[in-house]
Amino acid sequence: MNMRDEPDFEESCEESLSGPFEDSESKPHHLELRAGGALLAIEASAGMRPVLIYAGPDISGITGEELALLATRQHAPGTPSIPLRGSLLNEIGTGISGPSGITGHREGQDWALDLRVVSTKMVNGKSIHVRCEDKKARIGTNHVFEIDASTGMLRSSTSVDNIGDAPFQIDWCAALCLPFDQRLERFLSFTGRWAQEFQIEEVALFNGSIVRENKSGRTSHDVFPGGILACRDTTEQSGLALGFHLAWSGNHKLRVDRHSDGRGFLQLGELLFPGELRLEAGERYQTPQLLSVWSQNGTNGIAQAFHRFFNDTVADPRTRNKPRPVHFNTWEAVYFDHDEDTLIELAKSAASVGAERFVLDDGWFGGRRNDATGLGDWWVSEDVFPNGLHQLVKTVRELGMEFGLWFEPEMVNPDSDLYRTHPDWVLGADSVEIVPFRGQLTLDLTKKEVVTYLFEKISKLVNEYGIDYIKWDMNRDTHHPGSEGKGAMHRQTMAVYGLLDRLREKHPALEIESCSSGGGRADYRILERTDRIWTSDNNDARERQIIQRGAAHFFPLRILGSHVGPRRCHITGRELPMAFRVGSAVFGSMGMELDLRDESEEDLAILKAGIALYKKHRHLIHEGSYLALPSAKGTNLVGCVARDKQEAFFSYAKLETDLATLPQRIHFAGLDPAKDYQLRMIWPETNPSISSPSIVDQADLQGKGVRISGAALVDFGVQPPLTFPDTCLFYHLRAFE
């Protein structure tokens, strides 16, 4: 097993790790990193356990020594006679009573690890490397920390070296045991299910452990590898918060432990199956990277840091400055019922309302006429497209759109040529029946020949049709991913990354969307090699408002796919007006996914106007500072403010009828209190108010608008008009020079 597959971050550190380390001294040795408003202080003295003294918002002027002194813990009766200060992994040998960050053994030996600092290194003042070893157990660890200068995002990870002669079994290794501030009493977790992703579930003050485990073989719908810790009074806009995320697309475990002695630790790492990770002599295991960031300005500070970190550091330079195109996706328009004439007709209507990219979804290949057949047979179906996709692609291009194609590379249907030829190419645990799931099985990508097959098939199609975009789907949980008798989810996940990387290298212009039955594979590791997330299969605008609000805590709007669905939502059966459907798709990477032939002329005109509005303002939506504002029950208020505060765009969605006589006032945020703004309501196109007078006509909001100071818009706010539910209002604000 090659355990040397490492994330880019670790690779970039490799040079310095393998170089000579500074000699550590015998007196306490403190290392500090300060950047982007965050501070990290580590005590790493030779021969001692490394201690993470502080990680959090910067405290100006303080030194590592002072922090170490302030971190002194009083001796408590009935506890060990010496202070237990913990370690970067709180291993069993440290005596810390809570769960260890690393567990493993060598055939039942070497299980009580006690990792001591061997050397440290500060690289360019930007990252800290700590090398530890347990010389008796013959295990070494390398801990790397880096803080992003513009956002304060801390990136940390650990690699484990087997420096002994016999194999070492790793059962668990967190990226880090991250201590957190005692005042962070609330845990906001992100959970849900298919078509209900990114739902916030809050756990109030607790003692003990919250453990969330994902063994679905993908990032998952129900256990997002991340969350937010907040104080009792933290809001969207104020208070201390810690946001964290494990950049990993396979199985994971997240645990938040609050000990009775007041300490709290966070651990995230890969969830390993029994025996899955056996390090042979000389091998290394690299954990995924933990991203963590602190905000003194509530949860919006967390979201803004993640968005900026993505835009500046993770986003591919190719897409960073390219306006995110409007999609037309064929799935809910035709499902598996493909035929060239219909698709061409849809392409024409899509272009006429403003689509810029046409994505042909599931159903175009092999014998794929329903979801039980054809996966794996990656060639254009001759039955459906006797002349290939050429005519369709040509029309799409002539209409000025890019062409995208759906794939689900990691999967195979038993009813396929691929499976009939290679029934041994699937993952599975010996003697355990595979759990049925959408009639498909997971291919074993740890086998080189499988990856080669997929690479060649996809690459051929990309070349033949000049495909601009791939929607890369993955539609089943992989319950017992065995290969050659061993647990293989780690290797499978790395192989998926490898395949994507190979394709991107071969086709540098290709953009890729990460989809997994909607938002089941949304994480920062997949985003190092993909450009968009399909946030959810749920195109019900009312529910989508909440899903997008949840997802935006971690992901910027520019990558959150958000489509205008059909009048009667296919998942909830709810009927929604076009103006609301359109309005709800604008705060994201906008698209459409409906049969345009079913829409009235009037609704098509509304759709076209909404798309034009998105195009006009997408720079602001995608590059401004995102704000999710306190929203009264049954409403959703979010906004984007330009970095220079010259312009702002807010969306107020009313999802239910009011309990009160009138809706709560809207308090805008993020504006310059000293500037005057022209306030206008630019959506819907007609006055949505169901009674009069209202501020819409009194202040001519849909006409010239009104001049108001930033201070008044924030502190006094405006009364939104009384409207029916399923209404979405956009307010536009432009500052006077």
**Catalytic annotation, residues:** 473, 537
Q: Which stretch binds ligand GLA (CB under 6 A): 481-489, 510-518, 640-648, 664-672?
A: 510-518
Contact status: 518 vs ligand GLA (CB under 6 A): yes
- Asked if 362 is part of the footprint of ligand GLA (rule: CB under 6 A), the reply reads yes
3-state secondary structure of 673: coil
Looking at 152-160, 175-183, 480-488, 511-519, which segment touches ligand GLA (CB under 6 A)? 511-519
Q: Least distance in Å: CB of 445 to ligand GLA?
A: 19
Mask 434-473, x = binds ligand GLA (CB under 6 A)?
---------------------------------------x
Residues 70 and 56 sit within 8 Å (Cβ to Cβ): no
Choose the binding region for ligand GLA from 423-431, 513-521, 655-663, 711-719 (rule: CB under 6 A).
513-521
Q: How many residues bind ligand GLA (CB under 6 A)?
A: 11
Applying CB under 6 A, which part among 156-164, 259-267, 284-292, 514-522 lies near ligand GLA? 514-522
Residue in the block written with tokens 């759906």: 406
Choice from 144, 279, 512, 515 touching ligand GLA (CB under 6 A):
515
- The smaller minimum CB distance to ligand GLA, of residues 90 and 514, is found at 514
In whole angstroms, give the CA distance from residue 403 to residue 393. Answer: 7
Report the 3 state secondary structure along 261-285.
Answer: CCCEEEEEEECCCCCCEEECCCCEE
Q: How far is the CB of 652 from ligand GLA (least distance, A)?
A: 28
CA atoms within 13 A on the CB side of 4: 7
For ligand GLA, the closer of residues 145 and 406 by Cβ is 406
User: Nearer Cβ to ligand GLA, position 328 or 534?
Assistant: 534
Asked if 53 and 71 count as a contact pair (C-beta separation under 8 A), the reply is: yes
Q: Which residue is nearest to ligand GLA (CB)?
A: 362
Rounded least distance, CB 476 to ligand GLA, Å: 10
Q: Which of 94, 517, 535, 694 binds ligand GLA (CB under 6 A)?
A: 517
Q: Which residue reads 């042909």 in tokens?
A: 360
Distance between CA atoms of residues 703 and 696, nearest Å: 9
Half-sphere exposure of 494 (CA within 13 A, CB side): 20
Q: What are phi and psi of 549, to 5 degrees?
A: -60, -40
Q: Among residues 349 and 536, whose Cβ is nearest to ligand GLA?
A: 536
Binds ligand GLA (CB under 6 A): choice among 180, 190, 406, 425: 406
Q: Which is nearer to ligand GLA, 334 or 605 (CB)?
A: 334
Minimum CB distance to ligand GLA, residue 596 (Å): 17
CA torsion sign for 50, 51, 57, 60 is: negative
Edge-to-edge, what's the strand order for the sheet holding 706-709?
Answer: 625-629, 635-641, 647-654, 727-735, 676-683, 706-709
Q: Which two tokens stand for residue 696?
A: 């819409």
Contact string 292-331 vs ligand GLA (x = CB under 6 A): ---------------------------------------x
**Residue at 620: amino acid letter:** L
489-506 and 448-465 helices cross at what angle (nearest 10)? 30
The whole-angstrom separation of Cα 374 and Cα 455 is: 17
- Do 438 and 371 meet the contact criterion of CB atoms below 8 Å apart? yes
All residues at 6 or more sequence positions from 317 whose CB lies less than 8 Å from its CB, including other chains: none
- The whole-angstrom separation of Cα 655 and Cα 546 is 10
**First-to-last CA distance in the chain?**
63
Positions in 113-172 near ligand GLA (CB under 6 A):
none
At position 556, the amino acid (one-letter code) is P
Contacts of residue 419, Cβ cutoff 8 Å, sequence gap at least 6: 376, 412, 413, 425, 426, 441
Decide if residue 375 touches ligand GLA (CB under 6 A).
no
CB of 594 to ligand GLA, least distance (A): 13
Which range, of 77-85, 339-347, 515-523, 599-607, touches ligand GLA by CB under 6 A?
515-523
Write out the two tokens for 247.
Answer: 């950049």
- Smallest gap from Cβ 33 to ligand GLA, in A, equals 40
**For residues 28 and 65, is the Cβ–Cβ distance under 8 A?**
yes
Under rule CB under 6 A, residue 512 binds ligand GLA: no
Residue 160 or 592: the one with the smaller Cβ distance to ligand GLA is 592
- Pairwise CA distance, residues 419 & 372, whole Å: 13
CB closer to ligand GLA, 99 vs 367: 367
| Strands 511-514 vs 469-472: parallel, antiparallel or unpaired | parallel
Q: CB-side exposure of 234: number of CA atoms within 13 Å?
A: 27
- Altogether, the residues listed in the chain come to a count of 737
Q: Which stretch binds ligand GLA (CB under 6 A): 100-108, 151-159, 440-448, 512-520?
A: 512-520
**Shortest spacing between CB 194 and ligand GLA, in angstroms:** 8
Q: CB of 389: closest distance to ligand GLA in angstroms?
A: 17
- Cβ-contact 482, 220 below 8 angstroms: no
The smaller minimum CB distance to ligand GLA, of residues 45 and 538, is found at 538
Least distance to ligand GLA, CB of residue 644, Å: 37
Least distance in angstroms from the C-beta of 416 to ligand GLA: 15
Q: How far is the CB of 362 from ligand GLA (least distance, A)?
A: 3
- CA 601 from chain centre, in angstroms, equals 37
* Least spacing, CB of residue 371 vs ligand GLA, in Å: 6
Contact 543, 196 (CB under 8 A): yes
Nearest CB to ligand GLA, comparing residues 127 and 516: 516
Instruction: Spell out, one character per residue from 523 to 552, where the chain touches ligand GLA: x when CB under 6 A holds, - when not.
Output: -----------x--x---------------
Q: What are phi and psi of 637, to 5 degrees?
A: -115, 115
Of the candidates 361, 511, 531, 676, which one interacts with ligand GLA according to CB under 6 A? 361
Distance of CA 677 to the CA centre of its chain: 34
Q: Of 127, 219, 446, 475, which one interacts with ligand GLA (CB under 6 A)? A: 475
Q: Which is nearer to ligand GLA, 293 or 418 (CB)?
A: 418
The verdict on 589 binding ligand GLA (CB under 6 A) reads: no
In the numeric block, which tokens belong to residue 671?
A: 């504006």
What does the alpha-carbon distance between residue 453 and residue 462 come to, in Å, rounded to a whole number?
14
**Token output for 118:** 């061997």
Give contact residues for ligand GLA (rule: CB under 6 A).
Answer: 331, 361-362, 406, 473, 475, 515, 517-518, 534, 537
